[in-house]
Structure 1
Amino acid sequence: MTPRDASEPNSNRWSDLDRPPLGAASLRRGLVREGGLWSEVEVVQRTGSTNSDLVSRAADGRAGEGAVLVAEEQTAGRGRLDRQWTAPPRSGLFFSVLLTPTEVPVARWGWLPLLTGVAVATGLSRAAGVDTALKWPNDVLVTVGGEERKAGGILAERAGDDGVVIGVGINVSLRADELPVPQAGSLALAGAVTTDRDPLLRAMLRSLEEWYDRWRSAGGDPAVSGLQETYAAGCATLGRVVRAELPGDRAITGEAVAIDGDGRLILATENGVQEPVGAGDIVHLRPA
């Protein structure tokens, strides 16, 4: 599917006045600057997946570090474990960025999606005025009616030998009857002070630039950059009894006690063993 630029005529552009289109020109003015990380910001009306599009562009040299691709609607958005991510047009923020941290050892690139989680949660807390938390590895949680709900997710994919494309999806103005599953949430349902997507997107990307610069300056060291400590402080998974559903139909149950230097979740099991989990689906079984 070919992305269509948001500046093109569209008879449905103002079909939902509660959900105005993003201002591509103002976003570029606010984010693209000399010496900054963001090199280009493009907004398209509709595409399958911003991640897939940006990976493809990086592969054939049409995108470089700091490229940002935003879609008003994704028809084939993907979350972790190839789960589908769908939402009404202009009801959320669906964007991908291309990063090439060549000065950081590849062994530390696994921290990039966790770094993005910290940046997204920080930016949303500032701009939307909602309490956010992170479910390991990178679900963004908000509180709706006293319950934690997933309002967003992050997906990282390699792009060639020296690049990583990171996709972010955030439910902004979804109403209760529009939620894909009852356990989902949105910034609006969490009582956000604004659902204006322009300042929300700027806040997340500025926060991501700050954290990325700090992490790169520390050679990708999660402790020196403060990333490991900050992620742990905002992680709703720590202190809980959880079940880790692992590849190969294996599962581990235990208390989530730490995030290690490789970004893995450490579970303390009933038999006294500490098990590191580097990939899998985490189910929160009991509150902290």
Structure 2
Amino acid sequence: MKIAATVEEIRSAVKAWKKEGLSVGFVPTMGYLHEGHQSLMQKAVSENDRVVVSIFVNPMQFGPSEDLESYPRDLEKDATLCEASGVDLIFHPEPKEMYHPDFSSFVDMHSLTDSLCGKSRPAHFRGVCTVVTKLFNIVQPDRAYFGQKDAQQLAVIQQMVRDLNMDVTVIGCPIIREADGLAKSSRNSYLSADERKAALVLSRALEVAKQLLANGERDAAKIRNTVSETIQAESMAKIDYVELVDARTLQQVDSVERPVLVALAVYIGKTRLIDNFITE
């Protein structure tokens, strides 16, 4: 397995693979990899001849007061996990390799980015769409893999690929959880021992929503209020949002009569965590 730092290196390798008729899978990440990322890599390896993983903490998707500088990084550990998963090539560029000093072109989206995380992080998805477009242009993958934990990001990227006729298949993969239910996240490393226990309120609240639905409740407001009350009972938790939205359009629903994304974002101390599930 090799680690490449330049666009030229990646393009050269991928061109050689494609000249041999090999398929290319791609897993874009910001690094500090965990079992959730590993599941994406393993699926990519199982479905493609060659796999590229990008490790790039994208400054464009962080707001002024967010955790760009403190975002966890460990390239050596990441490389070990990638190699163990069967990855062929890591793309690990510096920001100056991705964004020239006079960079002035962006990819933006409306509608899907107006709610959920986009509401409290207004510039976030412009940064996501721009960097993913650049990465798709650089790597030219046949398939790209994203986790369902970032459900809005997955929906946004799928829409962007359709809208812009990108020649790549976007594949969503299930949320990977700790044994106690907490969704795997690089930001879990920020949590103290007490905060780690408190963070279980996210998965617990989603289980409350699932139980309400299983018992026949269809009123979105009632489900949202009960989930919010569950979270508010945890003193270390502060709600950013609790929403029930159409799984495709991400618009709020009044009643659960079709596939709905039940999504939440919660601060545990200073750490913002997200989790979700989609109804059948």
Return the TM-score normalized by structure 2: 0.26
Return the TM-score normalized by structure 1: 0.26
The structure with higher relative contact order (CA 8 Å, sep 6+) is: 2
More helix by share: 2
